[in-house]
Amino acid sequence: MEGVHTMPDTTAPAPAPAVPPTPPVPLQALLAREDLALRRIAGPADPGIVIHGAHTSEMTDPSPYLLGGELLLTAGVHIPAAGPSGAYFDGYVSRIVAGGGTALGFGVAPVHDTVPPALVAACERHGLPLLEVPPRTTFSAVARAVWQLMAQARLAELRRVTEAQQSLAAAAARPDPVPSVLRRLSRHLSGRAVLYGPDGTEIAGAGRETETETPQDVRAALARLAGVVRPASHPAGAPSRPSSATDTHGGTHLAVYALGAGEGFVLGVASARREAGDHTIASVAAVLLALLTGEHHSGAGAARSSALVRLLLGAPPEEVAPLLGTGRWLVVHARPEAQAPDPVAAAALGTALGSPLVDLAGDVVRVLVPEDRTPRPQPGWTLGVSAPAEPREWPAADTQAARALARARAVRAPLLNHAARPALADLVPAADAETHARTLLAPLAGQPALAETLRAWLSLHGSWDRTAVALGVHRNTVRQRVARCAALLDTDLDDPDVRMELWFALRRG
């Protein structure tokens, strides 16, 4: 879960009311709608004023029902008929401001022919924009216009985020990926992007600080904020660190993001403004930089490349394995429950299982996992796991994982492990068992489909349907193959002794 930390400002007043997570609409954009004919008659004309919704209320005190950031609409029904005083309007406006209202819209007619001058004066004193709503404009039309503008803003923000994601991904594929990602990020956020190393030093940066702040002060504040999410700042036993943090320095917005799981790299961003999609864009950059710095910091990428080259040049697995880690390994075969897997889904599965050693082959994903990282069921996947194996045993473990996956799919289990406990067959010398198996199964030699079908059918207790699922064939095909096996072996497959002997042979063959 992502943690967000904001450095406290002890000199600031009480925090402003929270606003809903919707795209804000500039008040000027609403005033520019000719179909509404709204007119600002009091309060500031700041172009930076935004609204987060429209709310209609005729209550004397609407503040308990404001979320913050609204344009409050009223026809003045609540105004006392016996000539309200300036004190009444002063209290009314002050309560709206305290409740977080951004602007007030007053509907002319049918209750009042004009906006009360005392209300105009009160809005001017409290700095609350006051809009005159003409008789032909309904409050519902104003509210609908606000939501239309919000929908347009949301679409524009989604388009901006999508374009930024594509741009950052392209930058990560360049020969100089880290500087390229930082440059693109600084342009998309109109600020400065910095990559800090595990020791807190600035490794790379792009863009510039806002012109209203002293660059040295902004850099120092951003570096201090980076310490909030750096693992070294949170020793063992301390509360878990947040993965991101935000703060402000004067008029500059600061944000930092921890990269990866404990490597210590941090992405910092300083910008003059904070748009709704900036967090998403910076998070995409953080993921890309985590991949890039993870490879650089640990050397794992180079080690895996070296292991692959050595295997291709003929080195045995046991010589290559130390480059990937020590100890025994598990082979995992996985299939998604819905569509065929793609490279992104395969990589995500590898991350969930704690290993970057992933192979996507057709509709099956294979992952080589260290023994100490016990695989757990993954939502949307069916997994088969081998017994722990030394590098020289990897091919056999691969077969075990494939069979475990087939059985898991047949019995609709999310994960099945290959049974590696000692068995009765271990009492028979291996050479004798293998000779017996070859002799017994000789009629099936050269027909692997028959042998594999018989193995699956026996392992699933003679179930035609489950065997068909495990092998990915029609149940009639299973029946035909099993009948062919019975004919070639000249035996009765309904006899439990025969089944036991064949199972013993298939396990050894």
| CATH class of domain segment(s) 176-298 | alpha beta
Q: Which carries the bigger pLDDT value, residue 476 or residue 362?
A: 476
**Bond into 110 cis (ω within 30):** yes
| Side chain identity at residue 95, one-letter code | R
The mean pLDDT of 401-422, rounded to a whole number, is 82
User: Average pLDDT in the 147-157 region?
Assistant: 88
Q: For 439-451, how does the pLDDT look when each residue is reduced to its tens digit (9 = 90+)?
A: 888 888 888 899 8
Whether the predicted pLDDT of 297 surpasses 50: no
Rounded distance between C-alpha atoms, residue 29 and residue 50, angstroms? 9
7 pLDDT above the threshold of 50: no
Place of tokens 């600031």: 12
pLDDT tens-digit series, residues 481-502 = 999 998 988 888 888 888 888 8
Least reliable range by pLDDT among 104-118, 215-229, 298-312: 298-312
pLDDT in tens, 222-239: 989 988 888 655 444 445
- Average pLDDT, integer, range 94-103: 95
Q: What pLDDT does 301 receive?
A: 60
pLDDT given for residue 103 in this prediction: 97
370-402 pLDDT per residue, tens: 888 888 888 888 999 999 988 888 888 998 999
Place 13 in a pLDDT band, splitting at 50, 70 and 90: very low
In degrees, rounded to 5, the angle at the alpha carbon of residue 102 between the alpha carbons of residues 100 and 107 is 120
CATH number of 25-148: 3.40.1390.20
In contact, 131 and 106? CB cutoff 8 Å: yes
Q: Does residue 18 have a pLDDT over 60?
A: no
Lowest mean pLDDT among 29-38, 179-188, 263-272, 433-442: 433-442
Q: Is residue 423 very low, low, confident or very high in pLDDT (cuts 50, 70, 90)?
A: low
pLDDT mean over 290-315: 67
Share of the chain above pLDDT 70, in %: 86
Residue 349's pLDDT band, with cuts at 50, 70 and 90, is confident
The pLDDT confidence band at residue 209, using thresholds 50, 70 and 90, is low
- Three-state DSSP string of 257-289: EECCCCCCCEEEEEECCCCCCHHHHHHHHHHHH
Choice between 80 and 213, residue whose per-residue pLDDT is larger? 80
Two structure tokens written together for 9: 């400002």
pLDDT confidence bin for 434, thresholds 50/70/90 = confident
Higher pLDDT, 226 or 428: 226
Compute the average pLDDT of residues 85-96.
92
**Which positions ≥6 away from 507 have C-beta within 8 Å?**
425, 437
C-alpha distances out from residue 490 to 446, 458, 478, 485, 496, Å: 17, 17, 18, 8, 15
Of 14 and 31, more confident: 31
| pLDDT the model gives residue 41 | 96
Mean pLDDT in residue range 323-336: 85
Q: What is the CATH number of domain 426-508?
A: 1.10.10.2840
Q: Rounded to an integer, what distance in angstroms lies between the CA atom of residue 280 and that of residue 274?
A: 12
pTM: 0.47
Q: Once rounded to an integer, what is the mean pLDDT over residues 256-265?
A: 76
